[in-house]
Structure 1
Amino acid sequence: MSSFWTALMQESGTTMKPSSARHPQTDGQTERAHQTAQMMLRTLIRPNQKDWVDRLPDIEFAYNTSVHPAIGVTPIELHHGGRKGRIFADLLLPRPADIDAACSPSSVRKYRELLTQARANMQKAQVRMQQQANRRRIPCPIRAGDLVWVSAEEFALEQDASHKLLPKWFGPWSVTAAAGDEPDGPSFVINIPEHLTVHPVFHASKLATYTPPKSDDFPDRRSQDPPSMDGHREVDRVISDRKYGSKPRQYKVTFKACDRDDTQWISGADLKASAPLIYAHYEKQRLAQENSRPAPPTRTVVTPSDRQLRPR
């Protein structure tokens, strides 16, 4: 979430409670409304799908004039205080005389009764949905400091790699803390490597507890770190350099969040462009080391005199 949007909400006095990324179940009501709208839109648009914008008013009217089980009435009835939405054919007919005015005492009383009924129906629906959701739900076993696996679906990799052949889980990585006020989640901050430009907060449904091996059969096994999302790796340090003839100097470097044995030779131009501070520091040390070396001995060449060149 951007700092501008956060500051704007603070100025307006709005309390935000953002959901974790890639977890649409957090706002299930909106997601369910989107599914209903998509299902209705799918039956009205043409095969080329170019007229879906023109069909949105029809979808809106049909959705708002349908009875919602959560409130027991249509959204238009609840919004307009019990006055049902009129279809297009009814708009040509005169308005019935028995309909109360919007500001009359009877209309206000009907609206309050309808609002009370809608709230009661919503509470019943929430209890029913909560019981259904908790029927197979178990307490989250993840706590701060644990090692967990992260689902590979959470990483939008852009490299030419087949997602079907990638591991199903990446890690294991440690849990830094729980996101929010609850110590048991359901979202947690994961200490993922720095080269992965992804939000470090993950829902518990995207995590799996790490079970360490029972023996030390594989003491040098590395964690399954996914490749970077943009193919870029950050240089950690320069190990050595080399130069062949008139070719540009090359530098042997290691990368952050990678194994020490994962080295690569890169040119000076690439190193200066990607890590200018590391390049300048290494060049300063290299030049200082070359200047501190003793100069090689010079050969004294004695030029022959004219007498030596004179034939005998």
Structure 2
Amino acid sequence: MLAKPLTNLLRKDQFEWSQEATEAFRNLQQALSSAPVLVLPDFSKPFVVETDACSTRIGAVLMQGGQPLAYFSKGLAPRHHSLSIYEKELLAVVQGVEHWHQYLEGRHFVIRTDQQSLKYLLDQKLKTSFQMYWISKLMGYDYEIHYKKGANNNAADALSRMPKMQLFQLTLSTCSEELLLGIKKSWEDDSEIQLLVQRLQQGNGVEGKFSWFDDLLHKGSRLVVGNSPTVKQKILEWLHSSYLGGHSGINATYQRVKTLFWWRHMYDEIKDFIKHCDVCARCKYETVAYLGLLQPLPVPNRVWESISMDFIEGLPKSNGKDTIWVVVDRLSKYGHFVALSHPFSASTLAQQFLDGVYKLHGAPTEIISDRDPIFISNFWQEFLKVLKIDQKLSSSYHPQTDGQTEVLNHCLETYLRCMCWEFPKDWAKWLPLAEWWYNTTYHSATKVTPHELLYGQKPALYSPYLPRSVVVDAVDRSFVAREGALLVAKHHLSRAINMMKQRADSHWSDREFQEGQWVFLKLQPYRQISATSRRNQKLAPRFFGPYRIKQKIGSVAYKLDLPEETRIHDTFHISLLKLCPDPAVKPRHPPLDWPEPPVMKEPDQILQKRIGRRKGRIVTEILVKWKQLLEEETTWVLLYHFQQQFPSFVIADP
């Protein structure tokens, strides 16, 4: 109390010596010079630590044989003001023990406190993080906790010298006469308070922490309020809803009210009052985390399976265009930027989709977009239905659903702003370069460029030169010359490729089959054993079949009609096929005395386990190492199918 004005000077930018600081220094000097002489410790006697706490301070006294050895007191930090009395008393105990740890470590000592519940500190269950944290500070000490009434507590006696009368007079001056009458009347409705008042009036003294003074009942320095909802309502309206309260929060209002008044369950009633305050509900923002748990979209299984799209509008006219249509693949993050001109319709957008996306990547499984009028039009929805594309629209006023495209829009706008801010009407010329820039830029989510993820190779570092992009004529001519040299180099490369093709084709023969024809198939020995049975791999036939051609794939690949039990891919290069001259010939079968075909694979070890998605369902997959096969041929299989095929194999956690 005495040193508080001096302590406040140590705050940041608060050191300004005042008359109050001078008086505090003199009072502190006088108190220290006139204090009783402290005795020296005797380590053959047990130590006693007495602690106490009030609303804003804690204190402790180290004693031996009833004589003080040392003492300390300190103010509570603002964050500790809202703690309960129990927690403040526990904090005083911990601070006292830590303050004199050099006297107490390694010896038995006694802790005295006026908080009776702390007597059972070591026997009760720890329920709060506050208890766990502070009790952990006492681990390693050998101590007992004794309860001692506050009137006989030396630390409490030192802290009790508070200006109670001043606070009490302040309470009387700030309360209106009508409110004081209401408080007195509230005692009549509370039987417990009536009995307490009678005992205090008869004894005219103090009972516990309650006292009777000036015809008023108070607890410490606070007026006691009976069980009257009307009086409590007036007090809370005065200290919360008026200009004095300013509609403060729960803790701030509680601290303001408890300095003047006390009643049972005061904190809970203040909390309930503020919760139902109409002004607070209308005028205050919610101090809670962002509402709604995050619902992330699933990761696509393949590139251009799931895409998102959005528009960038409000651009200046450039070559008749004023809008950019942004289409992004959600897996590879590869993007396409299409320039459009208003007005455009859903049919125009559908044609642009076919020209700019569908012809390059095929139809996606789903499209994520906002609720633009074009995206919710009947034509666009029917167009997607024909292509069997699922449409997922963002929630109203929630663009985070399509957050990927929104972020890309900012990146694209920044690029165009940096490149053509002097000539903003030339943005359409920069759009192809912007698309190349974006797709060849390292992406923080995939840890690789979209170009490399889509095509499997790093993008070329060369960037094309636009004529007259620089103002220096000599530099412009040099870059134009370089473009011409590149064209010549490309021409020579094309000639070289044609020459190599001619030389290679001279050693190869051209062959073509028609759908429905029967062909023999050349199978790799030791590897493809599910299509046929071999008694000996070395002396097995080179070709097996015949099998019918179902479909021609490209120029040199064909799909065959293989037996259902075959477990190899049904598409083969033309070099593995040979025309069957007699389609009526029966397929070659092994003799009847041949043994049963061997099992295709036998599992050796389960390396990994993962959760995946197949056909929209969550499945468990395992990475299997097969016997007599290389490590490079380990494969991911469904756990369910594996257990069906190998029921006796014991699967241990990898």
TM-score, normalising length: structure 2: 0.19
Higher helix share: 2
Query: Quick check: which one's strand share is greater?
Result: 2
The structure with the larger Rg is 2
TM-score (norm 1): 0.37
